[in-house]
Structure 1
Amino acid sequence: MNYKVVILDIDGTILPHGKTISPATFGAIQQLRDKNIKVVIATGRAPYFSNSIIHDTGVDSMVFFNGAYAYHEGKEIYKNAIEKEVLEKVLTMSHGYLHPLTFLAGTRFTVSDLNHPFVTEAYMHDSWQLELAPPHFWKDQDIYQLFLHCELEDEVSYQQEIPELDFRRWTSGARTCDVNLTKSNKAVGVSKLLEKMGIAPDEAIAFGDGLNDIEMLSLVGMGVAMGSARDEVKQAAKMVTFSAEEDGVRFGLERLGLI
């Protein structure tokens, strides 16, 4: 297959958890460009959580918020905010359970409880300045994603009561999960971007490691799961490479003959 684009997740894929992108991965991205193969980032992160990665890699086409927001060559082409009535359902439940929320809008994020231990845990490795959410922040802003800070067993109640939303745990031991519209995932945002580029899904390669990558890996012609991925992610892929710590993106691209 003559692949035309490589789509890369950030955390756990090009960026080892808690570390920086390796020279080997940087070099692989540059080699793709030298061969006129487009490089796209598709992440669960917000744009403002991705600025340094975007700057360092030079990528200008991106999918954010697990597919709810997409840019092509630096210009917005797609966005899909969570409906206010759905947000109100989450807010009501979270208040009842005393679970804090992070609200992710287009240009900023706020947190309902700055001192909750689950919030502190979620942001302990990051340098972002946390801001307390004003009472009507969720009404005044378009919210594209939430972080629900709770134990895994508590997540089930939200899934049962709010079927409009999808809840995906960051990692198996995390006490925070991404919250997105059920009809929104990385495959949706990637499809919008590929359509804009004039590239068919089977002409694309995607690398990912998380539960939020499953639809994207299934969509493209060659889905590649990182070695650290859970079994259900690997089952959605056509190939498994090494972990991010072992430069799995570079190894996978070499194995596919792209670099």
Structure 2
Amino acid sequence: MNYKVVILDIDGTILPHGKTVSHATKDAIQQLKDKNMKVVIATGRAPYFSDSIIQETGVDSMVFFNGAYAYHEGKEIYKNAIEKNILKNVHLLSHDYQHPLTFLGGTSFKVTDLSHPFVIEAFRHDPWKPELAPSQFWLEHDIYQLFLHCELEEEIHYQAKVPELDFRRWSSTGSRTCDVNLSNSNKAVGLTKLLERLGIAPDEALAFGDGLNDIEMLSLVGMGVAMGSARKEVKEAANMVTLSAEEDGVRYGLERLGLI
């Protein structure tokens, strides 16, 4: 297949957890560009959590917030904020259960409880630190994503009472935080908007990912590649499995496919 675009997740894909993008991965991305291959980043991160990676890779087309926000060549082309009535419902529930929420807007993020241990845990390895959310923050700003800080078994209360939202754990190994997005919004939705702008069909695209939030993306494209560290469900959604991010799995996969 003559692929025209390579789509890359960040965490656990081009960025090993807790590390930096390797020289081998950056070189592979540059080789793609030298061959006039379009490179896109599709991440669950907010734009302001992605600046350093975007600068390192030189990518100018991105999908953020698990598909709720898309840029092409630095210009916004799509955004899908969570409706205020839905935010109100989840906010009231989180207050009742005493679970902190992080509200992620287009340019900033705020959290309802800075001292909660689950919040401290969620941001302890990050260079960015949250600020306390004013009571009207979620009303006064467009919110594209939430982080819900609670135990895995407590998610069920939210899923049952706020069906408009989708809850996906950061990891399967004890994480007390999950991404919260609109149920009808995922990476495939944002990427479809971006691919339309690029004039590229989904089956002409290749994507790499490792998380549950990558399943729709890997299913959308012509060649979905799961990282070696991915969970079983992610690998089942992919056409191929490569090595882990720590083993430069993106570069290895691109070499196996003959793209570099």
Contact 2:80 2:144 in 1 (8 A): yes
Whole-Å separation in 2 of the counterparts to 1:218 and 1:61? 20
Deviation readout 1:62-89 (Å, 9 max, x if unpaired)? 0000000000011000000000000001
Q: How does 1:45-124 map to 2 (within 5 A)?
A: 45-124=45-124
Write the letter of the residue equivalent to 2:56.
D
Query: 2:187 aligns to what?
Result: 186
State the Cα distance separating 1:233 from its structure 2 match: 0.3
Percent of aligned positions with the same letter in both sequences?
A: 79
Q: How do 1:133-148 and structure 2 match up within 5 A?
A: 133-148=133-148
- The aligned amino acid for 2:18 is G
Q: Distance in 1 between matches of 2:128 and 2:16?
A: 19
Structure 1 regions of 5+ residues with no counterpart? none
Q: CA deviation at 1:100?
A: 0.1
Query: How far did 1:130 drift?
Result: 1.6
Does residue 1:127 correspond to 2:127, yes or no?
yes
CA shift, 1:193, in A, is 0.2
Cα distance in 1 for partners of 2:171, 2:82 equals 23
**TM-score, normalization by structure 2:** 0.99
Match of 1:239 in 2: 240
Deviation of 1:129 after TM superposition, in Å, equals 2.7
Q: Residue deviations 1:237-259, cap 9 Å, x none?
A: 00000000000000000000000
Q: CA deviation at 1:157?
A: 1.1
> Separation in 1 of the partners of 2:100 and 2:69?
24
What is the CA–CA distance in structure 2 between the aligned matches of 1:130 and 1:45, rounded to whole Å? Answer: 14
Partner of 1:11: 11
Query: In structure 1, the residue corresponding to 2:208 is in which secondary structure?
Result: strand
In 1: Cα distance, 2:127 partner to 2:202 partner:
36
RMSD after superposition: 0.4
Gaps of 5+ in 2: none
Q: What is the identity, as a one-letter code, of the residue corresponding to 1:42?
A: A
Measured after TM superposition, the shift of residue 156 of structure 1 is: 1.0
Where does residue 2 of structure 1 map in the other structure? Answer: 2
Counterpart AA for 1:179: V
Q: How many residues align?
A: 259
The CA deviation at 1:94 is 0.2
One-letter amino acid of the structure 2 residue matched with residue 244 of structure 1: A
Distance 2:199 2:222 in 1: 15
* Separation in 1, partners of 2:10, 2:153: 27
Distance 1:127 1:74 in 2: 23
TM-score by length of 1: 1.00
Amino acid at match of 1:243: S
Aligned to 1:37: 37
- The aligned amino acid for 2:8 is L
Give the distance between the partners of 1:127 and 1:223, measured in 2 at CA.
31
**Partners of 2:159 and 2:167 within 8 A in 1:** yes
Q: Is the 8 A contact 2:123 2:129 kept in 1?
A: no
Deviation at 1:185, TM superposition (A): 0.1
Over 4 Å off, 4+ runs: none
Distance 1:57 1:12 in 2: 16
Q: Match of 1:90, SS?
A: helix
Distance in 1 (alpha carbons) for counterparts of 2:251 and 2:160? 40
Q: Structure 1, residues 111-130: CA drift from partner, whole Å, max 9, x if none?
A: 00000000000000012132
Give per-residue Cα distances to partners, 1:7-57, cap 9 Å, x unaligned: 000000000000000010000000000110000000000000000000111
